[in-house]
């Protein structure tokens, strides 16, 4: 089986290669694909040197699966070309997420919807993935009326250039500016571009993608997404109103029984999820579980995950694993 990683030289592409290795993903031939400026570059992976190839050559090679992490414009142009050649594309960009003809997949929640005819599969936004994975067992048990989420997102979500800006600021040197303001020692209530309704594109992604993944437009979602000067993962304060009342001990048990979720909820001993501990881990960490005392049937929770892992690379690799295990490619 041929596997292509498109955008192999970027932050998420590099993480995809690490996850493929850790998961012992089965392939016979690995194609590392990137933009023209990286073609010909040598990448050492698992003790073997690979030469980076261009997109046209990758399409011609007809891989069974191509995991894309090369940006929306590249995906819009090239994912259909791979699909026409018979390749199943798992795409990390926002290009296809809200396309009604494409599935938006978190494997633990809705991979069962996939068929062999799905040739372009969308990977959700990083901040959406970790939230819906933690909400899924609670939604199934109590039903969800409304979600209010505020995020605290790592600079790694923007990419290497943003990390470089922060580290240059921290070192006291003049950075190339990726953000409109300094990020080190600061907080930016601004992720992606502002929309006519006053929300950012990132906030609208969380709202719309949550409804699509859950196949439930009745769930009310509102979001404020914020960039903070951290690395290692995204954090979220989530306030969720259920249709039915809940028992806090049962909530904890449901989360503990959910594959891919780790409960860290012992505040008396200062145990709660933090991005510094989520770094390089595939799981979603949940803590600070407590009843909202201002209104009925409402829970507060704190959710943390490595945005380059479950928020991107790991989720994409898990989709590819599901395709192989269920003979959909």
9 assigned binding-site residue: yes
User: Does 234 participate in catalysis according to the annotation?
Assistant: yes
Task: Give CA–CA dist 266/304, Å, rounded.
Answer: 15
38 assigned binding-site residue: yes
From the list 50, 126, 190, 279, the catalytic residue is 126
294 assigned binding-site residue: no
Closest CA to 306 of 167, 162, 130, 184: 130
Assign residue 116 a region (left: φ > 0; alpha: ψ between -120 and 50; beta: otherwise).
alpha
Compute the Cα dihedral for 181, 276, 163, 237 and give only its sign: negative
CB-CB contact of 264 with 235 (8 Å): no
Q: For residue 305, give every residue at least 6 positions away whose Cβ sits within 8 Å of its Cβ, in sequence order, or none.
A: 126, 129, 130, 233, 234, 278, 283, 284, 285, 311
296 assigned binding-site residue: no
11 assigned binding-site residue: yes
291 assigned binding-site residue: no
153 assigned binding-site residue: yes
Residues belonging to the binding site for phosphate are 97
Residues belonging to the binding site are 9-12, 37-38, 97, 153, 175, 227, 307
Please identify every residue annotated as catalytic. 126, 234
Residues belonging to the binding site for substrate are 153, 227
């Amino acid at each position: 089986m041929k596997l292509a990683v498109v955008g192999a030289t970027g932050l998420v592409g590099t993480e995809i290669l690490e996850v493929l290795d850790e998961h012992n993903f089965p392939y016979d031939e690995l194609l590392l694909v990137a933009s023209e400026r990286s073609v010909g570059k040598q990448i050492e992976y698992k003790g073997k040197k690979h030469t980076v190839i261009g997109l046209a050559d990758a399409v011609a090679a007809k891989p069974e699966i191509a995991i894309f992490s090369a940006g929306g414009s590249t995906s819009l142009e090239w994912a259909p070309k791979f699909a026409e050649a018979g390749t199943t594309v798992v795409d990390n960009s926002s290009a296809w997420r809200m396309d009604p003809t494409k599935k938006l997949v978190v494997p633990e929640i809705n991979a069962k919807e996939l068929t062999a005819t799905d040739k372009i599969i969308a990977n959700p936004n990083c901040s959406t993935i970790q939230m819906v994975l933690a909400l899924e067992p609670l939604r199934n048990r109590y039903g969800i009326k409304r979600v209010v989420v505020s995020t605290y997102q790592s600079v790694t979500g923007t990419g290497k250039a943003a990390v470089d800006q922060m580290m240059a600021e921290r070192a006291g040197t003049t950075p190339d500016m990726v953000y409109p303001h300094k990020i080190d020692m600061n907080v930016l209530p601004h992720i992606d571009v502002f929309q006519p309704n006053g929300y950012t594109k990132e906030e609208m992604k969380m709202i719309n993608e949550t409804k699509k993944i859950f196949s439930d437009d009745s769930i009310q979602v509102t979001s404020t997404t914020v960039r903070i000067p951290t690395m290692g993962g995204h954090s979220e304060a989530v306030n969720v109103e259920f249709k039915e009342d809940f028992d806090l001990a049962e909530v904890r048990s449901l989360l503990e029984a959910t594959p891919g979720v780790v409960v860290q909820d012992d505040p008396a001993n200062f145990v709660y999820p933090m991005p510094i501990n989520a770094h390089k881990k595939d799981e979603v960490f949940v803590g600070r579980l407590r009843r909202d005392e201002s209104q009925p049937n409402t829970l507060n929770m704190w959710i943390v995950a490595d945005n380059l892992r479950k928020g991107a690379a790991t989720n994409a690799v898990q989709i590819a694993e599901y395709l192989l295990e269920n003979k959909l490619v």
